[in-house]
Amino acid sequence: MYVAFAVLALIAIYPVLSVEVPPIVDYPNHLARMHILTLWESDPDLQKNYVVEWSLGPNMAIDFVVPLLTKVFSLYDAGRVFVATTLLLIVGGTLTLRKVVVGKVGLWPMLVFLLLYNHAFFWGFLGFLFTAGLALFAFSAWIALRDHPNSIRFAVFAVVSVLLFYSHLFGLLIYGILVAGFEIGWTWRNRRMRPFPFAAYAVSGGQFLVPFLLFLAWVGRNESTSDAINRFGSLAAKVVALISPVHFGLPSIDIPTAIFLGGVLILCMTRRWVWITDSLRLPLLFLTVVAALMPNFLSGVWGTDFRLPAIVGCVLLAGVRTKPTALRQARLIIAIAVVLLVVRTAMIAEQWHDLDAKFTEFRTASHVMQRGSRLLVVADRDDAPEGTPPLYEMKFWHLGALAVIERGSFYPTLFTGHTTVNASPATALIDSPVGTPVSRKVLSATADASKSPYPLNHRLSRYVWLYWIGWPAHFDYVLSIRHANKANPYPDLLERVHEGSYFDIYRVMRP
């Protein structure tokens, strides 16, 4: 059984190991930041453009792990090891939880491999997914140590909660919800045999006291809520959240996977082939309710509603048990799932190989730029190759971040401010903590800063600032990502220095 899981795990992570730069949306941005953390002290170009300011916060899993991995691996290899480890943590956490609550792993957890390439992974929410895997392990340990002395449990899990907090706040949220559901369920099931477990509840809640105080201190130190966006989201956003466990931007395989898993769920419920083990019923219910109520924007953070559903699926698979009369049906379901996994992984790997070749092309071409230069990225949302999936062009949103690695360049939408890396004083006015490429229309309209209704560095929201106003005076090069429109986006001031298969690099001619 464990050999089968090991083989499936190798199949699942094959796309990650087969490319140099896994083409998930935010990944190049994260990797560029890890490059700065690793080499900033010895690279004058990075020092000119960025400053490293280590301060602890609730989203540091990547910052903690990848720089350590670079002591053994190259930067690109260290990044791939982290991504593969993230996927394996989710698998391992699911299997461990099932072993603890059911007593054996069985067949059902094989379905977890179909949930790895989900919508949160598509966008590159790696810190969250890494910590979600850790949270499943932590919850498994909480259950396994339920009958140990309260003093030992408090000492162990007070440390665990702090580590989860610093790794990623949403991972701690998952762990907290699961612990609350388990403790309430345990109390209810044992209400007639034991007195109310005040000590156990003190340990359960007390382990979160330090993370709560750390969170309040972090909010007071770093966050201003005056311009934060809180939005539940449209019906379309909720549909995306519903299918997010298998939504990876490849409809030709995502849709069959969703239909298959949805059909399995309906059949199991209507035919009563399975049931959920008692200890996970309430944790699963609590996590499902929170996932359903999660808004699309929460305090300025986008995509919070499609982070939890895949983890709900993991907990469900950890707790599901098969009735003896349905074993044959369960084996058939797992066999189909394995075939679907192989096909799904092959299709993802095929697309990734093509995208990795494109990323490699830009990494090579970026050497026409002077080291330490400032790079502005231009791309139109509707300029995508014919016949590609709807979200294909988003894979290139952070292509320019690879120039930070290759040339020590300044990239204005690197994840700064709320991380360990900030823009230097020399580049602070053209920095935005979060952002996407500007369109050709915006590029043309804002070349002359005097004609813009907003000043440079104007804040549109908590994390999005106008970094492109009067761009000819502030940037050295423009990367134009174009799949169809090959025209120079601003001929008066841009001189092409490299023509690629899907992009052009222009030198900015100072007015």
Q: What is the 3-state secondary structure (H, E, C) of 232-282?
A: CCCHHHHHHHHHCCCCCCCHHHHHHHHHHHHHHHHHHHHCCCEEECHHHHH
Whether residue 340 has pLDDT greater than 90 = yes
pLDDT of residue 383: 81
Tell me how far apart the 2 most distant CA atoms of the chain are, in Å.
Answer: 82
Q: What is the pLDDT of residues 43-91, one digit of tens each?
A: 999 999 999 998 888 999 999 999 999 999 999 999 999 999 999 999 9
pLDDT of residue 223: 57
d(CA 170, CA 316): 19
Tell me how far apart the terminal alpha carbons of the chain are, to the nearest angstrom.
68
The tokens describing 321, both together, are: 């048990």
pTM of the entire structure? 0.96
Angle at 257 between CA 253 and CA 263, to 5 degrees: 150
The tokens describing 270, both together, are: 């209507």
Residue ranges per domain, the chain?
Answer: 1-54+370-511, 55-322
pLDDT of residue 195: 72
pLDDT of residue 155: 93
d(CA 169, CA 125): 12
Whether residue 225 has pLDDT greater than 60 = no
d(CA 228, CA 353): 38
Query: Between these two residues, 387 and 329, which has the higher pLDDT value?
Result: 329
Q: What is the pLDDT of residues 385-434, one digit of tens each?
A: 888 888 899 999 999 999 999 999 999 999 987 779 999 999 999 999 99
> Are 499 and 365 contacting, i.e. CB atoms less than 8 angstroms apart?
no
Whether residue 227 has pLDDT greater than 70 = no
Whether residue 221 has pLDDT greater than 80 = no
φ, ψ at 70 (rounded to 5°) = -70, -10
Angle at 272 between CA 271 and CA 275, to 5 degrees: 155
3-state secondary structure of 80: helix
pLDDT of residue 369: 98
12-16, 181-185, 355-359, 386-390: which range is least confident on average? Answer: 386-390
Element holding 494 (H helix, E strand): strand 494-499
**Residue 377: which of 430, 423, 336 has the closest Cα?**
430
pLDDT of residue 41: 95
Average pLDDT of the segment spanning 480-504:
94
Whether residue 301 has pLDDT greater than 90 = no
pLDDT of residue 224: 53
* Distance from chain centroid for Cα 396: 16
Tell me the percentage of the chain whose pLDDT exceeds 70: 98
**Residue 248: which of 169, 333, 381, 349 has the closest Cα?**
349
d(CA 318, CA 98): 4
**Residue 438: which of 476, 388, 492, 400 has the closest Cα?**
400
Average pLDDT, the chain: 94
